[in-house]
Chain A
Amino acid sequence: MKAAGFRFLRARCVAEALALKAEHGEDARFIAGGQSLVPALNLRLLEPRALIDIAGLPELTGIRVERGRLVIGALTRHAALTGDPLVAAHAPLLLEALPYVAHAAIRNRGTFGGSIALADPAAEWPACCLALDATMVLTGPHAEGERRVPATEFFRGLYATALGPDDLLLRVEIPCQPAGTRNAALELARRHGDFAIVGVAATASDRELKDARIAFFGVADRPMRFAEVERALAVEGVSAAAEALARQVDPPADLYHSAATKRHLAGVLLRRAVDRLRGAA
């Protein structure tokens, strides 16, 4: 299908983007890479009267390290993470997850921040942000300056986040991982590059796995960590963790996979992720 008509408004700075949004209100949408929004326009799931193009905002680009944090501008394209030395040094989990994020053509246009703002429950970046204890930095017409929201409070439900309809995500800040941190990002998908059926993003400071942070995606309306699973892993080991997971996780069925299948697959991925964190795989 074809998109309905809209006006295309180019913002040159954050202030202008916010002003345009205030002017056009609910009828307007921000567009970053367009890799999720344009499909929705073409399918006429959305018919905004105006698109506010934020792709040119200089404040939202670039990857840097600041006060012990890796800072990723919202407009950073997925592909820009490839081979980035700062990401490799301070948040290598992201590079493990990157090949699973869509296909090359989509990674070239889609943005890190767009994926966080969209909050697809089967997306990789939100789960990585949860595992890495990231903080989202937002701004909006009503807030004074910037708001900082930890990943644990940012993802609120199915495609729902702490972003208000007129808010902009500016950047994501990730505490730099100490050298030697262990990471694992794994997922199962029907076709390489499609959204995950079930996936996992996990990190731990060493192979003892006493402090593993294991975020699952595709198993709920948002990325999930399960305290009981992580505790069982630290105290009793992987079998106890897998049992805890089977008790805790309650995935929604999709077109192809029942809840039981997804619960089983989550357990399979947990075991693989633990092997990987321990360095056995």
Chain B
Amino acid sequence: MDEEIELAFTLNGKAVRRRVPVRLHAVDLLREVFGLSGPRVACEHGICGACTLRVDGQLARGCLLLAPQLEGTDVWTIEGLTATGEIADLQNEFHARNAMQCGWCTAGMLITAAEILDAPAPMDRQAIREHLSGNYCRCTGYQAIVDAVEATRQARAAGRSAA
């Protein structure tokens, strides 16, 4: 029998509590126990970024976090970020530019890119690529993804200076 723990944390803004096996990593936990299919499992050893989550306001690899390490944390998945509208502009740019094909990398890409949308320092395409370097996309060739992130950054910056 797998060892279990009573786990309490905040998921997409709501307090949750559940008895769960300790050996689950965060993506399996979110998918299997909480029914969220946004976080993806792919390599399961930290290489590809498909599992990327926002934990306590920071990017984290879902496949490299064990269930007990989520105790007391504030976890956001693409479902939550979509519901709040925080990255609706980025999602629209992804859609408009076909920055996804199979979609396996998309949630991780969006969550990772969300970190730099408001970064005030200028970021050239190389800097955007470096920020996204931990996220593999096997389909798009990245150009459209970088385009979408760059366009969203520019639109937000224009919005700020107009305000």
Chain A interface residues toward B at CB < 8 A: 1-8, 10, 31, 34-35, 38-39, 42-43, 51, 53, 55, 79, 99, 102-106, 108-109, 191-193
Report chain B residues within 8 Å CB of A106. Answer: 46, 61, 64, 134
Partner of A105, one of B2, B66, B134: B134
Q: Is the CB of A105 within 8 A of B49?
A: yes
CB pair B3–A38 under 8 Å, yes or no, is: no
Query: Known: A5-B23, A8-B66, A105-B49. Contact between A191 and B133, CB under 8 A?
Result: yes
Q: Is the CB of B65 within 8 A of A38?
A: yes
Question: How far, in angstroms, from A105 to B64 measured CA to CA in the complex?
Answer: 10
Task: Judge whether B133 and A192 touch: CB under 8 Å.
Answer: yes
Task: Name the residue of chain B whose CB is nearest to the CB of A105.
Answer: B59
Which chain A residues border B5 with CB–CB below 8 Å? 8
Chain A residues within an 8 Å CB radius of B131? 104
Whether B58 sits at the interface, judged by CB under 8 Å, is yes
B45 at the interface (CB under 8 A from A): yes
Q: A3-B25, A42-B25 are in contact. List 16 more A-B contacts (CB 8 A).
A: A2-B25, A5-B21, A8-B5, A8-B22, A8-B66, A34-B64, A34-B66, A38-B63, A51-B66, A104-B131, A104-B134, A105-B60, A105-B112, A108-B58, A109-B61, A191-B133
Minimum C-beta distance from A243 to chain B (A): 34
Interface-central residue, B64, B130, B134, by most chain A CB under 10 Å: B64
Contact B59 A104 (CB under 8 A): yes
Chain A residues whose CB sits within 8 angstroms of the CB of B69 once the complex forms: 34, 53, 55
B22–A109 touching, CB < 8 Å:
no
Beyond A39-B46, A104-B115, whether A3 also contacts B23 by CB under 8 A is yes
The docked-state distance in angstroms from the alpha carbon of A106 to that of B135 is: 12
1/0 per residue, CB under 8 A from A, across B47-65: the answer is 0010010000011110111
